[in-house]
Amino acid sequence: MNRSKAPRIAKEIKINHIEPFIIKLKNSIPVYMIPTGTQPVVKTDFVFGAGSWWQSKPLVSSATNALLSEGTSKNTAEEIAGKLDYQGVYLNSTSDLDNASVSLYSLTKNLDSILPLISEIIKNPAFPDKEIETYKEHREQSFITESNKVANMARKNFARALYGSGHPYGRSLSVSDFGKLNRKDIGVFHAKHYNSDNCRIIVSGRFNENKLIEKLNEFFGDVDWHASQPKPVFPFRKRPSAKRLVLIPKKNAVQSALRIGCVMFNRTHPDYPGMMVLNNILGGHFGSRLMQNVRQKKGYTYGIGSAVIPLKNSGYFVIVSELAADYQEAAIGEIYRELDKICNKPVSKKELEHTKSYMLGELLRAFDGPFSWSETIKSLIEHEMSTDFYQKISETIQNISPSEILELAQKHLSVNRMYEIVAGNVSEYKPLKYRT
Amino acid sequence: MIQYAKATMNNGLKLIIHQDNSTTMAAINLLYDVGAKDESTGKTGTAHLLEHLMFSGSGNIASYDREVQKAAGENNAFTSNDITNYYIQLPAENLETGLWLESDRMLGLNFTQEAFDIQKNVVIEEYKQRYLNQPYGDIWMLLRPFVYKNHPYRWPAIGSDLSHIENITLDDIKQFYYEHYCPSNAILSIAGNVGKSQCIELVEKWFGTIPRRKNKKRQLPQEPVQVNPGKMEVTRDVPYHELIIAFRMGHRLSPEYYVVDLISDLFAGGKSSILYRHLVINRNMFSKLDAYITGDIDPGMFIIRGRLTRGTEMADAYKEVFKEIEDFISAQPGKYELEKVKNKLESTRQYMHTDIINKAMDLAYHELLGNAGRLNDEIGKYREVSARSIQKTARSLFQLNNSSTLFYYSNNKNQQF
């Protein structure tokens, strides 16, 4: 047998039906249904446009979200935790810049009995003072510990450089914010944002669809939790930093954290699908240029990658790595060389073909199994994107040409658009000449 | 219940197949029965460095990554003290490509000096990124040699020291590879939209032709019985104190394993657990607190690890944890409490098994423990654990003489950042 000859690879990879079907509850909350999988489990997500974009004081959005399950009008925090644990239910509350959600993992057979409690948690949280105080103290400790990591120093300063510290995508917490958090702000934020007009539900796994809708209507379908006032509109202006290079010293750091990147756009931009392909070639996965060059050829780092991060009202491109202090200049030099290269030389047909294959595989994985499928759908509806967005991506992946990629690179990734943040051992750092 | 079929190749390679037609993908998991515990004392980190080199080209394939990419796959690997595990997920149509790639890495590697030097550097950077450049990053580096005196669990998989990694030579790696990476020392599992006969045929084709190799017999030194409580104090540049208490427990196949695992859940599995309620919420002595078992194949550890709240004295935190332990062993856990942790364990397993990679990995791991079918029996074993046996096991586990405590102090007097 000839081992150096690769087995035949499938020419066409079919992507499964990627559309969930949507049913509206009586109060018009849309429910995205994804009945799939082999295990008797259900994941239910309640998504609210209640991220930190909407808060008028620091911490309020994430605190509201985290404290939902810490006591309701009928149950104490301890009782809630006990009931969820007894049913083997995981309740994950998460919030980010744009959205906040409550995600529930349960066995199919336990879903009905746990929904009344989830309804209380979402609609009638009590936000007890004692729980707020404990939350504040523990969260502050974790904030202080995290702030000490070079990766977080770089991340924070990168966001500030791109958007400015007054912008919701650019601002960051400080220790003094913890003292200012109070129950009243949390209650007001909850009332404004956790209501049926601001809610979307995603259900994935194995379940009886009609029965489920009936139950969801019973506990979430009423009009009694409508918004009392229209959603506020916040006009924000970006105030990017004038300095393209930000160095943050940390004593005794054996590695420096790096961020190089610039502001882009959200997923509605016509260039977004193409940028996903471009990013994949540059640094989107293990076989990409940055990883192959800086790690696999040079050994300067344990990991490096790039990403196009979509936000609801913006988006950015970023290269992320942690670099040996001794090699940081050499490594950053390689990164700029890769940026230059992708802006000046069309990608070969072969490399593009490989990237396309990889990306199609990625698409398959994004829809494989109930939980990844629902995560994919969630990330779309959080930004009010249509759920057929990935059809578009898949078309772009199949059709984009080397010259279109080159054009995109020149338009969006030119070196003079980039901000560079280095946190760590920077006292001796000599930036490349066009970076000063 | 995870259905599976089993076969053994002539060269000793074991194969497990799980068919799941709800997916369009296939997952291949290749477990080698070799880990950091098989390294020699002065060369810790060898197994993990070899894992890195496994991605730098094999006898007939120049670039593993490129071929995976072409086949629309995604892959990774990890090395623990017990095993080295490789996995790849790709469209089911491309199953053969995955088998081709994995079989070629089993047949032989390129072992170029250049790739070796680069991966050594990468691992050194990994060591710095994960253990040196993170607050509290060195806790496991300290804890292992403190708890284990003889057994190779006394070093972490990445290596006990940067100098060890630096001193490993290409010949060391080659020797380690040929001693351990042979068909009879590996378990291959395939899960996904695949057929049994198709799998057997393809595995015969690509792996069946790999010659049998002799693998090195494992002879590990065992730990002496611990007779005194261990105490160790360090001070580090971190904002808050941490308290870490390790109790030595039985091996993975000992009957107490399931009992101890449930005790760790009763202690700190979720917000309704005993230690979390008492010490994090009610007493506010810790801002975070975990209890878990290391799950090692040889006798492992039950760990309690907590970060103290500002102003809490280390001595008080230590005293309170032991007071909780005393309270715990003074009575049997309630029926509801025990039922609760069992329910949670069962549902967690169901969540894990929505993913074909996890199914393939779990099947291979249980085959290593004796039989893939164990995977389906485990929930029953947890269900059988009685309140009485919890109390009995807790009493022997939580002896002071069986404990090793690491007092990890913040260098900041006020514990203020």
pLDDT tens-digit profile of B33-46?
Answer: 999 999 999 899 99
Q: Are residues B149 and B13 in the same domain?
A: yes
Q: Are residues A46 and A138 in the same domain?
A: yes
Q: How far is B270 from chain A (nearest CA, A)?
A: 7
Contact A9 B70 (CB under 8 A): yes
CA distance linking residue B346 with residue A66, whole number of Å: 26
Within a domain: B142: yes
Strands B5-8, B14-19: pairing kind? antiparallel
Rg (CA), chain B: 23
Within a domain: B307: yes
What digits encode the pLDDT tens for the residues A30-42?
999 999 998 999 9
Q: Are residues A186 and A261 in the same domain?
A: no
Q: Are residues B160 and B102 in the same domain?
A: yes
Q: How far is B145 from chain A (nearest CA, A)?
A: 24
What digits encode the pLDDT tens for the residues A217-271?
999 999 999 988 888 777 889 999 999 999 999 988 999 999 999 999 999 999 9
pLDDT of residue B415: 46
Contact A105 B347 (CB under 8 A): yes
pLDDT of residue A435: 53
Q: Are residues B189 and B246 in the same domain?
A: no
Q: In this model, does residue A290 exceed pLDDT 50? A: yes
Q: Which of A4, A8, A13 to mutate to test the interface with B (most CBs of B within 10 A)?
A: A13
Within a domain: A426: yes
Q: Are residues A192 and A291 in the same domain?
A: no
Within a domain: A230: no
Sequential DSSP letters for A216-249? HHHHH-SGGG--SSPPP---------S-SEEEEE
Q: Are residues B268 and B176 in the same domain?
A: no
User: Phi and psi dihedrals of A65, rounded to 5?
Assistant: -60, -45
Contact B135 A149 (CB under 8 A): yes
Q: In this model, does residue A123 exceed pLDDT 50? A: yes
Residue where a domain terminates, one of B172, B206, B240: B206
Question: How many C-beta neighbours within 10 Å does residue A248 have?
Answer: 17
Minimum Cα–Cα distance from A280: chain B residue: B69
Q: In this model, does residue B414 exceed pLDDT 90? A: no
Q: In this model, does residue B29 exceed pLDDT 60? A: yes
Under the banding of pLDDT at 50, 70 and 90, the label for residue A144 is very high
Question: Is the CB of residue A391 less than 8 Å away from at least one CB of chain B?
Answer: no
Average confidence (pLDDT) over B198-220:
95
Under the banding of pLDDT at 50, 70 and 90, the label for residue B416 is very low
Residue type present at position B67: E
Which CATH number do you get for residue B62? 3.30.830.10
Residue where a domain terminates, one of A174, A196, A225: A225
pLDDT of residue A115: 97
Tokens of B258: 């399931």
Q: Are residues A134 and A198 in the same domain?
A: yes
Find chain B residues with C-beta within 8 A of A347's C-beta.
none
Of B56, B124, B209, the CB nearest to A1: B209
Q: Are residues B153 and B241 in the same domain?
A: no
Chain A stretch 309-328, residues whose beta carbon is closer than 8 A to a beta carbon of chain B: 322-324
* Residue that wins the pLDDT comparison between B80 and B215: B80
Average confidence (pLDDT) over A403-410:
98
Question: Is the CB of residue A422 less than 8 Å away from at least one CB of chain B?
Answer: no
Q: Are residues B403 and B258 in the same domain?
A: yes
Q: Are residues B262 and B197 in the same domain?
A: no
Cβ burial A257-267 (10 Å sphere, 16+ → b, else e): bbbbbbbbbbb
Q: Are residues A140 and A51 in the same domain?
A: yes
pLDDT of residue B281: 96
Within a domain: A202: yes
Domain count, chain A: 2
Residue where a domain terminates, one of A225, A257, A289: A225
Minimum Cα–Cα distance from B53: chain A residue: A296
Contact A369 B354 (CB under 8 A): yes
The ipTM value here is 0.93
Residue where a domain terminates, one of A225, A257, A274: A225
Q: In this model, does residue B417 exceed pLDDT 60? A: no
Residue type present at position A294: V
Q: Are residues B352 and B243 in the same domain?
A: yes
pLDDT of residue A122: 98
Q: Are residues A330 and A395 in the same domain?
A: yes
Chain A stretch 52-111, residues whose beta carbon is closer than 8 A to a beta carbon of chain B: 77-78, 81-82, 84-90, 105-107, 110
What digits encode the pLDDT tens for the residues B52-68?
999 999 999 999 999 99
pLDDT of residue A17: 62
Task: Report the candidate in A130, A145, A127, A144 with the shortest Cα–Cα distance to residue A63.
Answer: A127
Question: Is the CB of residue A254 less than 8 Å away from at least one CB of chain B?
Answer: yes
Find chain A residues with C-beta within 8 A of B52's C-beta.
none
Contact A82 B68 (CB under 8 A): no
Find chain A residues with C-beta within 8 A of B120's C-beta.
299
Find chain A residues with C-beta within 8 A of B121's C-beta.
299-300, 324
Within a domain: B168: yes
What digits encode the pLDDT tens for the residues B327-362?
999 999 999 999 999 999 999 999 999 999 999 999
User: Phi and psi dihedrals of B187, rounded to 5?
Assistant: -125, 125
Domain count, chain B: 2
Minimum Cα–Cα distance from A137: chain B residue: B287
Q: Are residues A82 and A139 in the same domain?
A: yes
Over chain A, what is the mean pLDDT? 94
Q: CA A400 → CA A386, A408, B72, distances in Å?
A: 22, 11, 17
Q: Are residues A283 and A323 in the same domain?
A: yes
Contact B309 A138 (CB under 8 A): yes
Contact B118 A296 (CB under 8 A): yes
Contact A292 B65 (CB under 8 A): yes
Chain A stretch 335-354, residues whose beta carbon is closer than 8 A to a beta carbon of chain B: 353-354
Within a domain: A111: yes
CA distance linking residue A231 with residue A39, whole number of Å: 39
Within a domain: B30: yes
Contact B351 A105 (CB under 8 A): yes
Within a domain: B290: yes
Find chain A residues with C-beta within 8 A of B129's C-beta.
255, 302-303, 322
Over chain B, what is the mean pLDDT? 96
Contact A370 B284 (CB under 8 A): no
Q: Are residues B239 and B193 in the same domain?
A: no
Q: Are residues B165 and B248 in the same domain?
A: no
Q: Are residues B139 and B270 in the same domain?
A: no
Within a domain: B143: yes
Q: How far is B87 from chain A (nearest CA, A)?
A: 14
CA distance linking residue A97 with residue A167, whole number of Å: 11
Q: In this model, does residue A433 exceed pLDDT 80? A: no
Residue where a domain terminates, one of B145, B173, B206: B206
Cβ burial B112-134 (10 Å sphere, 16+ → b, else e): eeebbebbbbbbbbbbbbebebb
Contact B347 A107 (CB under 8 A): yes
Residue showing tokens 């001595």: B315
Within a domain: A231: no
Tokens of B37: 């515990």
Q: In this model, does residue B322 exceed pLDDT 60? A: yes
Within a domain: B225: no
Q: Are residues A120 and A63 in the same domain?
A: yes
Under the banding of pLDDT at 50, 70 and 90, the label for residue A436 is very low
Minimum Cα–Cα distance from A204: chain B residue: B354
Under the banding of pLDDT at 50, 70 and 90, the label for residue A434 is low
CA distance linking residue A11 with residue A428, whole number of Å: 52
Under the banding of pLDDT at 50, 70 and 90, the label for residue B413 is low
Domain limits for position B304 = 230-410
Angle, in degrees to the nearest 10, between helices A328-344 and A272-283: 130
Within a domain: B304: yes
Domain limits for position A356 = 245-435
What digits encode the pLDDT tens for the residues A334-391?
999 999 999 999 999 999 999 999 999 999 999 999 999 999 999 999 999 998 899 8
Contact B344 A88 (CB under 8 A): yes
Task: Report the candidate in B214, B215, B208 with the shortest Cα–Cα distance to residue B10.
Answer: B208
Contact A81 B100 (CB under 8 A): no
Helix (H) or strand (E) holding B220: none
What digits encode the pLDDT tens for the residues B351-406?
999 999 999 999 999 999 999 999 999 999 999 999 999 999 999 999 999 999 99
Find chain B residues with C-beta within 8 A of A297's C-beta.
118
Which CATH number do you get for residue A152? 3.30.830.10
Average confidence (pLDDT) over B239-260:
97
Q: Are residues A220 and A275 in the same domain?
A: no
Q: Which of A12, A38, A207, A258 to mutate to test the interface with B (most CBs of B within 10 A)?
A: A38
Of B71, B120, B133, the CB nearest to A150: B133
Minimum Cα–Cα distance from B416: chain A residue: A144
Question: Is the CB of residue A21 less than 8 Å away from at least one CB of chain B?
Answer: no
Q: Are residues A190 and A339 in the same domain?
A: no
Q: Are residues A84 and A162 in the same domain?
A: yes
Minimum Cα–Cα distance from B417: chain A residue: A144
